[in-house]
Structure 1
Amino acid sequence: MIHFSSVHFGYRKKQSLYRDLKLEVEAGHIYGLLGKNGAGKSTLLKLISGLVFPVNGKVQVMGYEPRKRQPSFLEKIFFIPEEIETPDINVTVFADDYAPFYPRFDKQLFLKLLTEFDVPLKSLKQMSYGQKKKTWIALGIAANTELLILDEPTNGLDIPSKRQFRKMMAAAMTDERCVIISTHQVRDLDHLIDSILIVDEGSLLVNAGIDTITEKLAFVQFSNEADAAGSIYTESNLMGTSAVMLNKAQRHDSRMDIELFFNAVTENSAQMKSLFTN
């Protein structure tokens, strides 16, 4: 669905953000895009959407070059940015204004999602930030595009709404659809994503499915720090020591800790990149 071939990009001529970036993203998956502040997560989403253009290299999304912004491409993609803007109109009129751009838009689904999100059918100006965010999420799901991109979608949502968001996203998935979610709040992605992308310092460190990660790595809690010797990465906590280690024993009971994995990757980028590079 998405193919990056030796992509170079920078906002300044002499300062590159991405260098020789190669990326493959497939349909039928929910990807979690992770990275530190300034690592280039939002820029990567904009490259996919055609909002910024590569300096060198080629980006292809569903066979299109996003930079051309063709209507036949735009109707297949829905991008919800981190910073949202909404006009001073009724929420149903808002949906009616967007519907013509998306041939598969389902208004009944949109209204159903608003009800599940507990969003009132009133003017967007009268809504809280969280209600506006939920309106955009409902709109993106109801557009039924092949590619749905969300940048920090859970910002502004309370705990029940985050749970409802995960439920909605899981229900919206099909084998033909791809969802990419960029977030700092990795705990919000638990039990939702099935693949992880991690970017750092202009490089793609990891592009792997959860199953692949847990085949290669074990996430283990030790009561004694000494028992974690030889681990790739460790963190101390109230329960003892959490560790990421090579899964030599094929521990099938090892549940992945996304936050721990991210910290391990950024702390040991060279080792982890080599581990997950085909």
Structure 2
Amino acid sequence: MIEIKNLDFNYPGSKKKVFEGFNLKFSDNRIYGLLGKNGTGKSTMLYLISGLLRPKRGTVTVNGVESKMRRPEMLRELYIVPEEYNLPNLTLRQYVRIHKDFYPQFSEEILDKCLNEFEMPTDINFKELSMGQKKKVYMSFAMASCCQLLLMDEPTNGLDIPSKALFRKVVAGNLADDSSLIISTHQVHDVEQLLDHVLILNGSEVLVDSSIEELTEKYEFGYRNADEMDESVLYAEPSLQGNAVVARRKADSAATTVNLELLFNAATMGRL
């Protein structure tokens, strides 16, 4: 679906390149977690994919169309939820009437279902909402667009703990079967149950590009006492339960759930 080739990018007025000679591919029908330290280009990548930013060199294509061209056939199948935004002083129904025709598969039924799952009313005036409530509405509209590609930048920022659980329910229950979702986030525990694939970036270096299945086949995540630490351990952190570890999975060991925080720390420390 998405192919990035020989990408160079820096912001105007800055000599520091966010990406240089960068290459990456995203496949169809997956939920990606896009992880990286602050300033490693996660948000920039989403804006390049959507065509809101343009490469200095190289190409970013979505279904064979260069994103910088922002052609209607690409834009009608792409929806981005930025980390920060302002909604106009409208009711939700006014907003829907203005925008839904841009998205041929838009579903008001899915919109109402997502709002209900977020425990939000459907009779909404944006000016009366908190920032967290606005985010729930914006994400509900994104799901209702039924686009082939959804991009979300830090979607759980500003949500309280119960709402983060509702976010996972909304995405899992309403993402169209033929859609892909790329989530850029620091809040890894908020999304790790949703993901099919993990990308960890360090600027122009891709530290991890693996499916959840591949990660569970290759690594074991868990806790070990000091006398259980052996050569299979790749990375460890002390904790109240013992040492939290990422280890090479042994042939006779059971699969474990991926701990994204441990995986991220191990990758950025060069331990994988």
TM-score (ref. length: structure 1): 0.92
Q: What is the CA deviation profile of residues 131-157 of structure 1, one whole-angstrom value per residue up to 9, with x for unaligned ones?
A: 100000000000000000000111111
Partner of 1:216: 218
Q: 1:232 touches 1:245 (CA, 8 Å); kept in 2?
A: yes
What one-letter code is carried by the residue in structure 2 that aligns with 1:267? M
1-side partners of 2:108 and 2:167: how far apart?
A: 18
Equivalent residue, structure 2, for 1:184: 186
**1:86 lines up with 2:58 in the alignment:** no
The structure-2 alpha-carbon separation of the partners of 1:158 and 1:204, relative to structure 1 and needing over 3 Å to count, comes to same
Aligned equivalent of 2:134: 132
Unpaired runs of 5+ residues, structure 1, are 273-278
Native 8 Å contact 2:110 2:174 kept in 1 = no
C-alpha deviation, 1:192, in angstroms: 0.6
Deviations 1:230-257 (A, max 9, x none): 3211100001101111224353332211
Q: What is the aligned partner in structure 1 of residue 5 from structure 2?
A: 5
Which residue of 2 is the match for residue 112 of structure 1? 113
Distance 2:65 2:179 in 1: 16
User: Which position in structure 2 is the counterpart of 1:163?
Assistant: 165
After superposition, give the CA deviation of every residue in 1:50-106 in whole Å (9 maximum; x if it has no partner).
111111111111111010011111101000000021011111211222101111111
Number of aligned residues = 269
Partner of 1:232: 234
CA-based RMSD: 1.5
Q: How big is the shift at 1:44?
A: 0.6
How far, CA to CA, are the matches of 2:253 and 2:27 in structure 1? Answer: 28
What stretches of structure 2 of length at least 5 have no aligned partner?
Answer: none
Q: 2:133 matched to 1:142?
A: no
Retained in 2: the 8 A contact 1:88–1:124? yes
Alpha carbons 2:146, 2:175 under 8 Å: kept = no
Between 1:154-163 and 1:35-44, the stretch displaced more is 154-163
Tell me the alpha carbon deviations over residues 17-60 of structure 1, each in whole angstroms, 9 at most, x when there is no partner.
11211111111110011111111100010111011111111111
**How many Å apart are 1:178 and its aligned residue?**
0.6
The corresponding residue for 1:276 is: none
Give the conservation status (yes or no) of the 8 Å contact 1:29–1:175: no
SS in 2 for 1:232: strand
- Shift in CA distance, 192/122, structure 1 to aligned 2, threshold 3 Å: same
**Identical residues among aligned pairs (%):** 39
The normalised TM-score by structure 2 is 0.94
